[in-house]
Amino acid sequence: RKEVEQDPGPFNVPEGATVAFNCTYSNSASQSFFWYRQDCRKEPKLLMSVYSSGNEDGRFTAQLNRASQYISLLIRDSKLSDSATYLCVVPNTGTASKLTFGTGTRLQVTL
């Protein structure tokens, strides 16, 4: 099983739609998780951190299910500007070192 797995998409949704992405991880000891956003040919930027059951920031909600070892990202009222790749990220447990990224899920929001 890959350390972090995501559906690569693309997810094509109309403006205003609600869309959800899932991500599964293999290390049951992982405590914290991140969603990063990456625009085409740009660097990844932190979107949300998930440390407990979930986190909400405006139109974005991240949820964590430890029993099933998956994290989800829900985007409500999608905007054209939400079009990007969303990377699920699991930090290494223990010392502060590497981040393990999923392949990313590509979202295209259309008119």
Partner 1 sequence: DTGVSQNPRHKITKRGQNVTFRCDPISEHNRLYWYRQTLGQGPEFLTYFQNEAQLEKSRLLSDRFSAERPKGSFSTLEIQRTEQGDSAMYLCASSPTRGVQETQYFGPGTRLLVL
CB of 64 to partner 1, least distance (A): 15
Looking at residue 1, what DSSP letter applies?
-
Q: Which residues of 74-99 are buried (b: 16+ CB within 10 A; e: fewer)?
A: ebeebeeebbbbbbbbbbeeeeeeee
Q: Applying CB under 8 A, does 22 fall inside the site for partner 1?
A: no
Q: Which is nearer to partner 1, 60 or 101 (CB)?
A: 101
Which 66-85 positions form the footprint of partner 1 (CB under 8 A)? none
Q: Applying CB under 8 A, does 45 fall inside the site for partner 1?
A: yes
Beta bridge mates, 87: 36
Is the previous residue joined to 10 through a cis bond, with omega within 30 degrees of 0? Answer: yes
Considering only 14, 46, 66, 110, the residue that binds partner 1 (CB under 8 A) is 46
Interacting residues with partner 1 (CB under 8 A) = 4, 8, 32, 34, 41-46, 49, 87, 89, 91, 94-104
